[in-house]
Structure 1
Amino acid sequence: MKVRSRKSAFTLVELLVVIAIIGILVGLLLPAVQTAREAARRMQCTNHLKQLGLALHNYHDTHRYFPYGYRLGEIGNRDCWYQRILPYVEQSALQDTYELCIRTPTSAGGNLSGGSSPVYTIPPTFQGKPLGSAVVPTFACPSDPSGPARCRGNQIGNYVLSNGSDFFKRTNSPSSSTKGMFYFESSTGFNNLIDGSSNTVMGSEIIIRGNNRDGHVYDGGAYWQGANHGEGFFSTQQAPNTTLPDLIVRSDTNFNECTNGNWDRFAPCEDVGYSDANASGGYRNSARSFHPGGVNLLMGDASVRFMSETIDLNTWRGLGTMQNGEVLGDF
Structure 2
Amino acid sequence: MSVRLGLSRKKYSGFTLVELLVVIAIIGVLIALLLPAVQQAREAARRMQCSNNLKQLGLALHNYHDTFGKLPSGGHQETQLSWHVSVLPFIEQPALYELFAFTTGGYEQANKVEHSVNRVDGFLCPSGPIEMATDTAHTDKYTTHYYGVMGPKGTNPVNSNAYDGNYSSTGGTCPVSSHGGLSNQGTLRTNENRAFRDVTDGTSNTLLVGEKSWVNFSGGTDFARYRPWTKGSTGASSGCWATAVKNLAYPINSQHVTQYNDISFGSEHPGGAMFLNVDGSVAFLPETIDFGVLLSNASRDGGEPVVRN
**TM-score, length of structure 2 as denominator length:** 0.77
Per-residue deviation, 1:310: 0.3
Match of 1:145 in 2: 129
Tell me the equivalent position of 2:203.
Answer: 197
Report how far residue 29 of structure 1 moved: 0.7
Distance 1:47 1:285 in 2: 24
Deviations 1:197-222 (A, max 9, x none): 01000001112658xxxxxx893357
Equivalence for 1:323: 301
Q: Does structure 1 residue 288 correspond to structure 2 residue 266?
A: yes
Any idea what SS the aligned residue of 2:259 has? strand
Cα distance change of structure 1 residues 218 and 190 upon mapping to structure 2, 3 Å threshold: closer
CA–CA distance in 1 between the matches of 2:209 and 2:228? 12
How many residue pairs get matched? 268
Contact kept in structure 2, 1:140 and 1:159, CA below 8 Å? yes
> Does residue 133 of structure 1 match 2:117?
yes
Question: Partner of 2:67 in structure 1?
Answer: 62
Distance 1:221 1:323, change over 3 A: same
Q: Which amino acid is the alignment partner of residue 233 of structure 1?
A: V
* Bigger strand share: 1
The answer to whether the 8 Å contact 1:133/1:150 transfers is no
Give the SS at the match of 1:13.
Answer: helix
What residue in structure 1 maps to residue 144 of structure 2? Answer: 157
Partner of 2:82: 80
Letter in 1 for 2:283: R
Residue segments in structure 1 that go unaligned for 5+ positions in a row = 106-110, 211-216, 249-282
SS at match of 1:156: coil
Cα offset, 1:58, TM superposition: 0.5
Alignment of 1:200-239 (within 5 A): 200-207=206-213, 219-220=225-226, 223-228=229-234, 229-239=241-251
**How far apart in 2 are the matches of 1:315 and 1:236?**
12
What are the Cα deviations for residues 222-265 of structure 1, in whole angstroms up to 9, with x where unaligned?
754142422211233211101443411xxxxxxxxxxxxxxxxx
Contact 2:116 2:228 (C-alpha < 8 Å) held by counterparts = no
Note if contact 1:247-1:284 (Cα within 8 Å) is conserved in structure 2: yes
Give the Å deviation of 1:191: 1.0
1:312 aligns with one of 286, 290, 299: 290
- Any idea what the Cα deviations from partners look like across 1:50-81, whole Å, max 9, x if unmatched? 111110000011111111112222xxx30231
Q: Using the alignment, how far apart are the partners of 2:134 and 2:255 within structure 1?
A: 25
For residues 177 and 5 of structure 1, the distance between their equivalents in structure 2, rounded to whole angstroms, comes to 87
The aligned counterpart of 1:178 is 184
Q: Which amino acid aligns with 1:178?
A: N
**Unaligned ranges ≥5, structure 2:** 1-5, 155-164, 168-172, 175-180, 217-222, 235-240
Letter matched to residue 295 of structure 1: A
1:119-168: CA deviations, max 9, x gaps? Answer: x5xxx38xxx9323322111011111111446433431101011001188
Q: Amino acid of the residue matched to residue 68 of structure 1?
A: S
Q: SS at the partner of 2:96?
A: helix
Q: Distance in 1 between matches of 2:246 and 2:98?
A: 27
Distance verdict in 2 for CA 1:142–1:162, change over 3 Å: same
Overall identity of the aligned pairs, in %:
36
- Compute the displacement of 1:176 (Å): 10
**Contact 1:140/1:148 (8 A) holds in 2:** no
Cα distance in 1 for residues equivalent to 2:224 and 2:253: 20
Is contact 1:222–1:232 with CA below 8 Å preserved after alignment? Answer: no
In the TM superposition, residue 187 of structure 1 has moved relative to its aligned partner by 2.0
Tell me the secondary structure at the aligned position of residue 323 of structure 1: coil
Report deviation, 1:294. Answer: 0.4
**Residues 178/218 of structure 1: CA separation in 2 closer, same or farther (3 Å cut):** closer
SS at match of 2:250: coil
* Correspondence 1:91 to 2:93: yes
Dislocated runs of 4+, deviation >6 Å: none
Question: AA paired with 1:136?
Answer: V
Task: Tell me the distance in 2 between the aligned counterparts of 1:136 and 1:223.
Answer: 9
CA distance in 2, matches of 1:327, 1:9: 72
**Matched position secondary structure for 1:130:** helix
For the residue of structure 2 that corresponds to 1:324, the secondary structure is coil
Are 2:246 and 1:299 aligned?
no
Cα distance change, pair 176–289 in 1 and its aligned pair in 2 (3 A): closer
CA contact (8 A) 1:206 1:222 kept: no
Hey, what's the Cα distance between the residues in 2 that align with 1:26 and 1:200? 44
